[in-house]
Amino acid sequence: MNAMNKVLIGIFLAGVSLSSSQSHAGQLPQPSDVAKIAQTMKLHPLRTRGQALVTIRADKMSVNLSMSAVADTMDGIINSLKQRRDEMFGKVGSGALNVIGTEISSLRINKQGGNTPSYRGEVQMTVEFTGFEDPLDAVAELADEKVTRVGSLRYGFSKELLEEQDLCEVALTDARKRAVKQAEAAGFKLGRLIQHQCNDGHIRHRGYSSKATMQVNVSVSATFEREK
């Protein structure tokens, strides 16, 4: 074999090798490859998310109250404010309203001058309660002549109320619907629920109407099996 033939054979073999590599790099998947990919997808779980936006009537409310008192001594101021607070709570506790928590945010006592020195004190507190029908009626019952200021109404939900609503189940239903659509689009059926995690609901909108309604947004992360 002469030198020219060797060169031609070398060029031919290099061309075959290059053509083969280009073919593997740019060719479309064969039917057998598609089947393998589909089978692999079936082995992996499908993960999706769901949401629920539910309107619920609040069953607890908090309000900021300010009360003041005047006395000859500082101890007298404290005792007077305590008495006024206890009287208010006793009145509320005897009716439909039920105080479930209080928190004092500030206390200010000033000594007043004059021929007879005296003290004036003011306390600000947040009162949380349940058992109200109309929020305005509840505030009116709290804010008697002993209260000097009312402000910052806030609605909320008790743990028991949220459990009754079963918001996570509503969000999970939405997640399942989304998962079914994803499964159908990929050409397989959705299997059983493997696990899910419900995120705590948060208030999306506060309602200050007499109905005291609010919207709660709950999301859930769910994992489903793919049916083989």
The span from the CA of 183 to the CA of 42, in Å, is 10
Give me the count of residues in the chain.
228
- What mean pLDDT is predicted for residues 12-17? 38
| Residue 89 falls inside a structural domain | yes
- In this prediction, residue 115 carries a pLDDT of 73
- Write the CA distances from 78 to 82, 88, 108, 109, 121, integer angstroms: 6, 16, 10, 9, 8
pLDDT at 108: 92
What distance in Å separates the CA atoms of residue 209 and residue 206, rounded to the nearest whole number?
A: 9
Residue range 213-222: mean pLDDT, rounded: 83
Q: Is the pLDDT of residue 28 over 80?
A: no
CATH code for the domain of 142: 3.30.70
Structure confidence at residue 97 (pLDDT): 79
130 or 228: which carries more pLDDT confidence? Answer: 130
Give the pLDDT of residue 98: 81
Amino acid letter for position 186:
A
Structure tokens at 69: 């008192």
Domain extent at residue 75:
60-156
Angle between helices 135-142 and 74-93 (to 10 degrees): 140
Residue 33 lies in a domain: no
With respect to residue 225, please indicate whether it lies within any of the assigned structural domains.
no
In this prediction, residue 16 carries a pLDDT of: 39
The pLDDT, as a whole number, for residue 177 is 92
d(CA 220, CA 27): 41
Question: Where does the pLDDT of residue 12 fall: very low under 50, low under 70, confident under 90, or very high at 90 and above?
Answer: very low
Q: Return the pLDDT at 124.
A: 92
Q: Are 119 and 70 in contact (CB under 8 A)?
A: yes
112-120 own/partner pairs: CB under 8 Å, 24+ apart = 116/72, 117/72, 118/70, 118/71, 118/72, 119/70, 119/71, 119/72, 119/73, 119/74, 119/76, 119/77, 120/68, 120/69, 120/70, 120/77
The predicted pLDDT at position 169 comes to 87
Mean pLDDT of the chain: 75
Domain membership flag for residue 142: yes
Q: Say if 113 falls within a structural domain.
A: yes
pTM over 0.85, yes/no: no
Answer whether residue 217 is part of any domain.
no
Query: Per the structure, how many domains does the chain have?
Result: 1
Is position 138 within any domain?
Answer: yes
Higher model confidence: residue 86 or residue 105? 105
Only one residue has tokens 């050409």, namely 187
Residue 194 and residue 179: Cα distance in Å, rounded? 13
| Residue 121 maps to a domain | yes
